[in-house]
Structure 1
Amino acid sequence: MLKAAGLLLFYFIGVSKVLQQLGVIKPGETRVAGTSGGIIGCAPDFGIVGHDKFLAVGKEFVTRCRAKNNCAGILDSEVSRVVEQLLPPDAANIVSRGARGARGAAVNGTAYILFANPNEKGVPVGNWTNTYDSRDDLAQAIRTGVYLPMWSGPAMTRPFRGVRSYDGGFRRALPCPPNVTFCVTASVLPPLNFRELLDSLNEPYTNRVLRRALSSTLGAHPMAFIQNVMLKNKVTSYKVDEVVLGTVAYLSAVNPGPDVHIYPGKYNKNPYSIWEWLLMMIIPPTPDEIDIIVKMGADDATSWAREQGLLPPTGSRR
């Protein structure tokens, strides 16, 4: 099972609820890989938190972010707060099933966290870990895997185990854990047609959606926000090649393609326009929208389960 997400990660909670009920995912036992916001969305499947607590923490998180320019420029600090709320003291042991290596490091862990490292040319190189020395090491892995340059903080990367690292979505959004017999893939994004996306920018409704997103990010005092948050990036020595190559890599990696098992719109209509949906990857949904998104994930997972014969067809009697 793997997941890739941004702030649409709540879609995976709906998917998780259904797949756990069916026994497809056994928390703490099934190998689960997460990328970007999907890492946090994997928490119930990692076996470290229940769905109800996750949603309660998540709704508090989006409420705070919506009051803070959508967490633009400070997302990492809020992610850190969420991680502290979600991880129990023995989180590292839970995700490794208690197995320890010769030096005390966790081994054979079921929680795969993906991240990327820019190489000397600025090209993102995919990486992952499923071993964690401690609760803090696990927390740092999560924060690194969801670190989005400029939006999470002023720096292009954050250090993880001594290496410059950032969001795993820059390299490969949907990798499967190694040595699995069958990998169920889920994505918050449908297969994307970039030409259609660009053409839709000319539509009045799309323009209104984009203006609302920009306005909510800049807030009541746009110049103060730009000065205090965005212009801080000037002192962080961004490398043009890293920015350009990272952007190109992200756009190519984030598109899930048609072979993903579960994604919005595959089985059931997405009630949001494509630009509304895309923007919710970085613009926090409201608590009420979270409930809608969770139900979307549950409905899509249920449809997939019926297709696989794990549930009876719609309208059939047991």
Structure 2
Amino acid sequence: MAEVKPDINLIQKQLLNVKHPELKKDIITLGMVASLEPNEEGISLLIKTPNADRRMQIGLEAQIRQVLSKTEGVGKIKIKFEVDQNMKLDDGNRIRGVKKVIAIGSGKGGVGKSTVTSNLAAAAVNAGLKVGIMDADIYGPSIGKMFGSSGRVALKIENDKIYPLEKNGIKIISFAFLINEDQPVVWRGPMLGKAVEQFLYDVVWGELDILFIDLPPGTGDVQLSLAQLIDLDGAILVTTPQSVALLDANRAAAMLNQVKVPILGIVENMSEFVCPKCGHASNIFSQGGGDKIASSLGVKKLGGVPITMDIMQAGEAGVPFVAKEKDSVIAKAYASILANLQEEIKNWE
């Protein structure tokens, strides 16, 4: 009879059930499992703790043995504790493994915010970054459609944790994945806050360089919930060239300032229309709005993105244009926006 070897991935998932007695978070999320290796008799675990609290260590060891005792192929369990005095278990309102959380918002709808979010994420993947998108627009989720998923999606759920969909190298979670395409959402503030909390902390994001959060337009409950639930590293405001957009952007900026979220810059979407036949660029939505808003708010204009037939068709087809046309003018525009964004993030650190 062949020997059953321990399944390390399964063991890691089982360890999600081992909770720190005070922080009420699992030891995987807290980064306490320094190593998990198979040996000749079973498995060896190295658990790091910030101090030599023996009572806490005994409690964790008992939980680990109880959780893994019925897991096939585990064999003997060897557990060693190591004290790391520089270890900080409670890192505030942060998602373990996610380096930066950037919100993308707008003063009003119809400015192409979700298009900007999906293509900026694709540009980040092209640059070699690990990226995720959380669609926080509960009432009008568009991110799913941008990646070719309309309506309910059979997401993987294990141990009360949700595994995001992955498309074009981007991890994605959207409320659209949980409801039928034509199903209305009639929710009040507290329910919205709970949904946002689950999307942040009950999703297995893994290691990410940037998590982009696609906000609903305006200044409502979702924005306030986010500010309370997570430490945002900053926000991007998306606008169009019309000067009339200035008032809406100022309102969104005032809300972000009130909840102490730094505005990293402005992205001017639909900056010009490029004719698919002759390539002539026309300012069909006026011009200068992005510069005026950036100047008014005292922030940087991260860049402008022209509107083309190709980018509109890509949105309908369910693949971000930048993901498939990496050398296009549009891709270069988003690469420039990403570079400016990274520079602004460094300035705020």
| TM-score category (smaller protein) | under 0.3
TM-score by length of 2: 0.26
TM-score by length of 1: 0.27
Q: Which has the larger radius of gyration?
A: 2
- Bigger RCO of structures 1 and 2 (CA < 8 A, at least 6 apart): 1
- Bigger strand fraction: 2
Q: Whose helix proportion is higher, 1 or 2?
A: 1
